[in-house]
Each structure stands twice: as C-alpha cells, then as structure tokens.
Amino acid sequence: MAAAKPVYNKILLKLSGEALAGENGFGIDPEIITTIAAEIYDVVKLGVQLSVVIGGGNIFRGLAASSAGMDRASADYMGMLATVMNSLALQDALESAGVKTRVQSAIEMREIAEPYIRRKAVRHLEKGRVVIFAAGTGNPYFTTDTAASLRAMEIGADVILKATKVDGVYDADPAKVPTAVKFDSLSYLDVLKNGLQVMDATATSLCMDNDLPIIVFNLTQAGNIFKVVTGESIGTIVKGES
C-alpha cells in the first residue's frame, strides 16, 4: 500500500445523500461519515486534489416531493438546502480527521459557507484542501449528478468517481435479478441509449461532450476510493469508447 501511486491527479467524488444515512435510510450516520472521511484522508495523503459533491436525498428528496404535488422548483430548492447540511457534516468529519476543507455553496449563504467561486476553488485544491461543492448547481430542475459533472468540468477534474451501493453498472438490478451481468466499461452512448443507471441524461451528456470519464464504484466496501484512485480496476468506467 505504501508504494501505491495515484493514476488521477484531480478527482471529483460524487456521493449520494443516502450514502451518509447508512442503515437508517435517513439523516446522517456519524459512523458512516467518519469512515468516508478516513477514506478521503488516505487519498488526499497521496497528493490527489479531491473535490466532493453530495446529494441531499437522506434529508429531502425534491423529485419525490414534487411528484407528491409540491411545486418542483420549491422542492428542488429544499433539496439544495439538504445538500448544504450534508456538506457541512462532511466538512466537520473531514476536519476532525485532519483534512483541511472548504465548503462552497452555489446559493449564497455567506454566514455558513463561502460562495462558489471557480478560481478560488481551484486555488484551494492546489493548496491541498478538499473542496465540497454545496447546493447543487443552484438551479432547480438540475440534479446533483449534473452539479458534479459541471463542477468537475469547471475545475478541470480528470475523472468523476460516482459512489454507489453496488459494484458498478449491471444490465439489470443485481438486487432483483441474480443473473445480472456487470459491465467493466461502457460508452456514454451505451448509457444514454439503454437508460442505464449511471447518472441522469443531462449529467451523462455533459461528460460525453467534454470527454470526462465516470467511474461507478461501490462505496460500501472499505478502501474502494483508494483503490479506484490508485488504478485498481474495480467498478465500471464510462468513457468515449467501451
């Protein structure tokens, strides 16, 4: 492990809000967030520039609320606020683990976070700080996956690491179909044409147009962030040609 070298210099880690909830399925599990912070610490120690986008589904689901009758824009803004809570929680866990962290919010709330300023974010990363991008893109109708793609592009990330609860992308839901087959590699078009569960179409298209690879991997297995960053081929990579 001591000799491990990163194969990516600048990464954007996309965490779902649910990843923080653990078994509870709701809220923030302190043990889980501490574990994630420790894994991020190991990667930052390699000298990798690491930024994070977190969803908010463990606190509030905009889409679900809007399908239950709530105005979509209002529901999405509430979802964005949920991502701010998750970002502050991760900042706290990271700083307890000894990782310097800055939170930048797409919606200005200067009392609790820096506003999103691209050049400042890039500078923070150069100084070895983890930057957490909160409040999605700041716009309703855009998912946090799209925020992850956008921010990754803006800061010039080499790759998006999309953390999930399964080992990668399968041709069917592995929880329901025991014969489901995992893909090692996929093209953006495969994902879009077959409606595969990687990221939504807006986020995937943005990555395709800018040739930014996405690696879907299982966050629930200890050490996986480190493995992906040091080039172990786990999960599924989505790129130009499969």
List 110, 119, 176, 193, residue binding ligand GTP (CB under 6 A) = 110
* Contact region with ligand GTP (CB under 6 A), list: 35-43, 58-66, 110-118, 194-202: 110-118
Tell me the C-alpha distance between 125 and 139, whole Å: 24
| Closest residue by Cα to residue 199 from 234, 232, 157, 152 | 152
29 CB burial (10 A radius; 0-12, 13-18, 19+): middle
Taking CB under 6 A as the rule, does residue 113 contact ligand GTP? Answer: yes
Write each residue from 124 to 163 as x if it is in contact with ligand GTP (CB under 6 A), else as -, in one continuous string: ---x------------------------------------
Please give the size of the binding site for ligand GTP, defined by CB under 6 A.
9
Binding flag, residue 89, ligand GTP (CB under 6 A): no
114: contact with ligand GTP by CB under 6 A: yes
Q: Residue 195 corresponds to which tokens in the numbers above?
A: 């409606």
Contacts of 80 (CB under 8 A, 6+ apart): 56, 62, 106, 107, 135, 136, 138
DSSP strand pairing (114-115 vs 159-164): unpaired
- 164 forms beta bridges with 218
Q: Is there binding between residue 102 and ligand GTP (CB under 6 A)? A: yes
| Position 119 contacts ligand GTP (CB under 6 A) | no
| Smallest distance, ligand GTP to C-beta of residue 184, A | 39
Output the DSSP codes for 101-124: EEEEESS--TTTSEEP-HHHHHHH
What is the chain's Cα-based Rg? 17
Helices (H) and strands (E) in the chain, counts: 9, 11
Among 123, 156, 210, 222, binds ligand GTP (CB under 6 A): 123
Nearer to ligand GTP, 116 or 183 (CB): 116
Q: Which stretch binds ligand GTP (CB under 6 A): 113-121, 133-141, 176-184, 208-216?
A: 113-121
Q: Which of 63, 112, 175, 180 binds ligand GTP (CB under 6 A)?
A: 112
Q: Which of these segments, 55-63, 104-112, 135-143, 170-178, binds ligand GTP (CB under 6 A)?
A: 104-112
Residues at the site binding ligand GTP, with contacts judged by CB under 6 A: 102, 110-115, 123, 127
